[in-house]
């Protein structure tokens, strides 16, 4: 690192230009792609080293993402990659626009009915269980290792069983989601309940506070960061559970179902459109929980710095 | 033991805290540890008693026994004539810990109201008491701020305000100024003394600073470790009016010397 | 976690008693919980399977006693919920009861009836992908920590990618790669590499950045170069974070490989066993495949935990 920064500032651009030239010699298409890539990278590097404001922090990843999309588009066009293998972003966007009703119906089925209901029930049940076993250190000592163990297992493998039990409808998907989010959420909640310091509990003792006063005024607020950590982890798990569960059987609607049959038909543009919906849904869901977290745990050091 | 202090104070009806032959032995993995042995102590109303000694001498343990946060394994102790637990349930004392321990999700004002909420004071009463007690510790106007917006000294003042809010006659303080720098500490010592004179509370104060103990107290209890016991109880004959400069007077130094002798007798300065 | 005291110093029976007390304090609750789960499982199995038993009895016009219903509920071929001993028996039969290799036309080939064979079909790409993804993740993390442009452009995407259900598109990637001729080990390894890559990047970056300003300033007073700071401070400080994210990564990689086997109609692998079990209604097969996957996941994470403990102990970081 020391030697790199000691080199004069024209070495990197010179190196880049040399690479591009080499690329052109080998294959003009490769050269074009390299030119765009290295040019964008250079622009990003300049912005990163000069700019400090929030605008830069926003612009750099945006440029990075846009560059990736641009390179993707270029590669598909220039190398005439078959749409069966990899469709271009422009094609995917077009498919997205054309099939919005279908994608929306899929979204409603998988995300709103399957993932969301399972998430609410699963996380709620986990929280209530954590409160219930809060008064028993014995149960906690037993449940925490078992819960950690189960949380690491491929729970998604229970999907075929749950589809068999609950049928093809959204209920089985919700069941899979519940199975997937319960233990990670439980582990986080139990950790949160234990997070209050001994000194704080002593203070409550000197006030002769009863169990519920101590719980509501001290232990619950202290547990909030942990609870939200669990909630954020579970958003992704819920989405995965709902979509994968649909691979095992679903009515003719749903994102997992859509992906499965469009893969079978080799219409990859539709598959990618579905994936885009999944990505947007995932980010939006996580972002929503993060916003609520910020409001409720504004006091926590992790929310105050940066 | 309970000698008359120079100021004209009404004779106490009964001692606030009375400990006789107090014993406390902890069972640890390395065997039993005697944290307190044969502690005999009487604290009267209006006293400012400091407990001083090296680590392991049992001063914090003694304070916690008074607060019913620990339970003795032998001997007896009464607080306000009742067992410590009964005193705790009747909300007879306020406790101030070494760290301010304010809730970061509550404003200073709401933090001060915390014990009031738990003890069932009504809204108007809570409001009045919070205002009064913040004024008492010179934190007027900071009620709407959050703890992390305040300095360490101010947080500790808020913690003291919280302990005063519900008008307990007894205040137990466990090295409350230990984490603060000397200048802030001096200032807070002055304020604490003024507070004590104004409210006439009984204060039990744990410290390991000799000047602080001598400056603040009417009585100094010197303790030593292994096993935890009282080595000396010193009645302070310093006047009631104590500017900070009193720490340079020969009377002050004499008492400090006596404290140091007590500590040395308890092997505090040896390994 | 619990406030049990550390090493018992005293000798003899006292120490043994205290040691036993400590162990039972940790193990007994877990055993109790597990025992409760097994009991609940049996009850649930009886409850869920008896409908079929009662149905069959009714069609034959036979009256069954409670004892017979319970016995039958635990012996069905295609139960709604297999009893624990049925799953255990199936696990035993398909692992120990089947040879891993069998003779076919004069040469030894893997035995598709052996669950070990299927487990290996899933584990191999998991491990390969995990190694690739882990190494790539570490390298990218190093790049992110030392290069501001990479940091600003890649990190937001790395974090955002954790919110995207990548697992759900694993099967699709397999199909695409199959159609261009890449089959078997490589595509599954790619999925597993991708799934372990991001947790490792995020965790490693956090770890490399964990040294405080005070530690970095100290090295600056020694005029240490960036490389020296990296090898002497950042890298050792990041080891705990690395192991935490490796454990997350390998669990994700295993699940990814299993999911990847699903819609392609793969014939071999734990995901394939899940699939065929669900197609043919062989619930016991599904459950035994699930348990095997669970055992594999537990074994992988346990191995990593062991390596972590040994490494941290050698570094003096274990607490």
Q: Do A199 and B101 count as a contact with CB atoms less than 8 A apart?
A: yes
More confident residue, C27 or C262: C27
Least confident of C127-131, C142-146, C196-200: C196-200
> Residue B1 domain-assigned?
no
Q: Tell me which of A84, A148, A152 to substitute to probe the interface with C (most C C-beta atoms closer than 10 Å).
A: A152
Residues 229-258 of C with CB under 8 A from A: 230, 247, 251, 254-255, 258
Q: Distance (Å, rounded) from C-alpha C192 to C-alpha C170?
A: 9
**C14-23 CB contacts, 8 Å cutoff, 24+ apart:** C18/B29
Same domain, B175 and B223: yes
Rounded mean pLDDT for each run of 10 residues along chain B, 271 residues in total: 45 75 88 90 93 89 93 92 91 91 93 93 94 90 93 92 91 91 88 89 93 94 89 88 88 92 79 59
Q: Distance (Å, rounded) from C-alpha A31 to C-alpha A25?
A: 7
pLDDT by residue (tens digit) across C289-306?
888 888 898 899 889 989
Instruction: Give SS3 for A11.
Output: helix
Q: What is the CATH number of the domain that holds B261?
A: 3.40.50.300
For residue A191, pLDDT beyond 80: yes
Question: What is the model's pLDDT at position B150?
Answer: 93
In terms of Cα–Cα distance, which of B56, B50, B99, B78 is closest to B220? B50
pLDDT by residue (tens digit) across A32-44?
888 888 888 888 8
Beta carbons within 8 Å of C266's beta carbon, 6+ residues apart: C272, C275
Which of A153-162, B78-87, C104-113 has the largest mean confidence?
B78-87
Q: Where are the beta strands (DSSP E) in C107-188?
A: 107-110
For residue C8, pLDDT beyond 50: no
Mean pLDDT of C36-58: 83
> Residue B66 domain-assigned?
yes
Question: What is the model's pLDDT at position B143?
Answer: 93
Chain centroid offset of residue C53 CA: 36
Question: What is the model's pLDDT at position A52?
Answer: 73
Mean pLDDT, chain A, rounded, equals: 84
> Residue B57 domain-assigned?
yes
Mean pLDDT of A57-74: 84
> Residue B271 domain-assigned?
no
More confident residue, A84 or B83: B83
Mean pLDDT of A45-51: 77
Q: How many CB atoms lie within 10 A of CB B162?
A: 27
Of A199, A208, A213, the CB nearest to B88: A208
Which of A4-13, A182-191, C131-140 has the largest mean confidence?
C131-140
User: How many distinct structural domains can be found in chain B?
Assistant: 2
Which of B112, B145, B167 is the last residue before a domain boundary?
A: B167
Q: Distance (Å, rounded) from C-alpha C304 to C-alpha C286?
A: 27
For residue C283, pLDDT beyond 60: yes
> Residue B9 domain-assigned?
no
Of C168, C225, C278, the CB nearest to A160: C278
Same domain, B186 and B227: yes
Same domain, B43 and B56: yes
Question: What is the model's pLDDT at position C18?
Answer: 63
Same domain, B259 and B178: yes
Same domain, B177 and B252: yes
**Chains interfacing with A (3 or more CB pairs < 8 Å):** B, C
> Residue B6 domain-assigned?
no
Question: What is the model's pLDDT at position A304?
Answer: 67
Same domain, B257 and B187: yes
> What is the pTM assigned to this prediction?
0.81
Same domain, B128 and B50: no
pLDDT by residue (tens digit) across A215-224?
999 999 999 9
Confidence of residue A170 (pLDDT cuts 50, 70, 90): confident
Which of B167, B197, B218 is the last residue before a domain boundary?
A: B167
Mean pLDDT of A175-199: 89
Same domain, B87 and B210: yes
Same domain, B122 and B74: no
Same domain, B78 and B193: yes
Q: What is the DSSP string of C48-73?
A: HHHHHHHHHHHHHT----HHHHHHHH
Mean pLDDT of A203-219: 93
| Residues of the domain holding B161 | 102-167
Predicted ipTM? Answer: 0.81
Residue burial C122-140, b: 16+ Cβ < 10 Å; e: rest = bbbbbbbbbbbbbebbbeb
Question: What is the model's pLDDT at position A8?
Answer: 64
Residues 147-176 of B with CB under 8 A from A: 148
Pairing of strands B74-79, B17-28: antiparallel
Same domain, B161 and B201: no
Q: Do A158 and C25 count as a contact with CB atoms less than 8 A apart?
A: no
Mean pLDDT of A99-119: 88
> Residue B270 domain-assigned?
no
> Residue B187 domain-assigned?
yes
Cβ(A262)–Cβ(A256) under 8 Å?
Answer: no
| Any B CB within 8 A of C1 CB | no
Which of B142, B167, B192 is the last residue before a domain boundary?
A: B167
- 């994700």: which residue's tokens? C252
Same domain, B86 and B115: no
Least confident of A46-50, A203-207, C42-46, C132-136: A46-50
| Any B CB within 8 A of C209 CB | no
């Amino acid at each position: 690192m020391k030697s790199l920064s000691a080199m004069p500032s024209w070495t990197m651009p010179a190196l880049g230009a040399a690479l591009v030239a080499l690329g052109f010699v080998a294959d003009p298409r490769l050269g074009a792609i390299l030119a765009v890539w290295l040019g964008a990278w250079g622009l990003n590097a300049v912005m990163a080293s000069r700019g400090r404001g929030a605008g830069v922090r926003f612009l750099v990843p945006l440029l990075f993402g846009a560059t990736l999309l641009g390179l993707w588009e270029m590669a598909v066009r220039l190398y005439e990659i078959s749409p069966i293998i990899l469709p271009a972003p422009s094609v995917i966007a077009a498919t997205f626009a054309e099939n919005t009703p279908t994608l929306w119906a899929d979204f409603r089925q998988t995300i709103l009915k399957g993932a969301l209901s399972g998430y609410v029930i699963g996380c709620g049940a986990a929280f209530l269980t954590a409160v219930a076993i809060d008064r028993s250190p014995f149960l906690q000592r037993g449940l925490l290792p078992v819960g950690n163990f189960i949380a690491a297992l491929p729970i998604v493998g229970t999907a075929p069983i749950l589809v068999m039990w609950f049928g093809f409808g959204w209920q089985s998907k919700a069941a899979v989601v519940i199975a997937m989010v319960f233990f990670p959420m439980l582990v986080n909640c139990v950790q949160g309940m234990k997070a209050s310091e001994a000194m704080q509990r002593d203070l409550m003792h000197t006030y002769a506070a009863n169990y519920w006063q101590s719980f509501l005024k001290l232990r619950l607020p202290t547990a909030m960061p942990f609870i939200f950590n669990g909630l954020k982890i579970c958003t992704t798990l819920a989405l995965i559970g709902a979509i994968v569960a649909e691979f095992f059987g679903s009515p003719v609607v749903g994102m997992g179902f859509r992906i499965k049959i469009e893969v079978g038909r080799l219409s990859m543009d539709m598959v990618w459109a579905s994936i885009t919906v999944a990505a947007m849904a995932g980010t939006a869901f996580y972002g929503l929980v993060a916003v609520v977290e910020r409001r409720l745990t504004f006091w926590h050091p992790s929310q105050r710095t940066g | 033991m309970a000698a008359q202090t120079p100021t004209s104070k009404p004779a106490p009806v009964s001692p606030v805290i009375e400990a006789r032959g107090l014993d406390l032995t902890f069972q640890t993995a390395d065997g039993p540890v005697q944290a307190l042995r044969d502690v005999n102590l009487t604290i009267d109303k209006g006293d400012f008693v400091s407990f001083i000694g090296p680590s392991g001498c049992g001063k914090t343990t003694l304070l916690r026994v008074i607060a019913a946060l620990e339970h003795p394994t032998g001997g007896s102790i009464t607080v306000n004539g009742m067992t410590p637990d009964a005193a705790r349930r009747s909300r007879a004392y306020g406790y101030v810990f070494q760290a301010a321990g304010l809730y970061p999700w509550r404003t200073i004002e709401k933090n001060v109201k915390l014990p009031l909420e738990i003890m069932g004071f009504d809204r108007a009463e809570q409001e009045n008491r919070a205002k009064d007690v913040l004024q008492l510790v010179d934190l007027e106007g900071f009620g709407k701020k959050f703890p992390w917006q305040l300095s360490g000294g101010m947080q500790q003042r808020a913690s003291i305000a919280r302990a005063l809010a519900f008008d307990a006659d007894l205040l137990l303080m466990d090295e409350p100024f230990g984490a603060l720098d000397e200048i802030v500490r001096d200032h807070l010592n002055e304020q604490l003394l003024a507070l004590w004179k104004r409210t006439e509370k009984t204060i039990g104060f744990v410290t390991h600073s000799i000047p602080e103990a001598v400056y603040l107290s009417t009585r100094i209890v010197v303790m030593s470790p292994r096993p935890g016991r009282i080595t000396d109880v010193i009645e302070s004959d310093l006047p009631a009016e104590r500017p900070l400069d009193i720490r340079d007077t020969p009377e002050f130094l004499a008492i400090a010397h006596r404290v140091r002798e007590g500590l040395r007798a308890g092997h505090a300065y040896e390994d | 976690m619990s406030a049990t005291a550390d090493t018992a110093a005293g000798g003899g029976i006292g120490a043994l008693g205290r040691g036993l007390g400590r162990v039972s304090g940790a193990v007994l609750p877990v055993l109790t919980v597990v025992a409760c789960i097994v009991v609940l499982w049996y009850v649930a199995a009886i409850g869920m399977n008896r409908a079929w038993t009662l149905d069959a009895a009714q069609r034959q016009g036979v009256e069954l006693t409670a004892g017979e219903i319970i016995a039958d509920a635990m012996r069905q071929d295609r139960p709604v919920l297999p009893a624990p001993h049925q799953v255990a028996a199936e696990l035993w039969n398909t692992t120990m009861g089947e040879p891993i290799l069998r003779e076919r036309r004069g040469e030894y080939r893997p035995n598709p009836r052996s669950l070990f064979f299927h487990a290996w079909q899933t584990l191999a790409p998991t491990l390969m992908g995990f190694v690739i993804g882990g190494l790539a993740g570490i390298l990218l993390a190093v790049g992110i920590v030392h290069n501001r442009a990479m940091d600003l452009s890649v990190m937001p995407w790395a974090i955002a990618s954790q919110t995207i259900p990548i697992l759900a598109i694993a099967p699709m990637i397999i199909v695409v790669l199959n159609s261009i001729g890449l089959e078997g080990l490589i595509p599954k390894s790619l999925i597993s590499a991708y799934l372990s890559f991001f947790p490792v990047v995020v965790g490693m970056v956090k770890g490399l950045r964990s040294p405080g300003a005070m530690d970095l300033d100290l090295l600056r007073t020694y005029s240490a170069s960036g490389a020296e700071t990296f090898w002497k401070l950042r890298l050792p400080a990041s080891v705990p974070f690395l192991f935490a994210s490796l454990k997350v990564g390998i669990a994700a990689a295993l699940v990814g490989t299993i999911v990847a086997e699903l819609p392609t109609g793969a014939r071999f692998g734990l995901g394939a066993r899940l699939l065929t079990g669900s197609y043919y209604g062989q619930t016991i097969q599904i459950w035994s495949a699930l348990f095997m996957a669970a055992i594999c996941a537990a074994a992988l994470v346990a191995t990593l935990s062991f390596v972590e403990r040994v490494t941290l102990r050698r570094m003096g970081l274990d607490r």
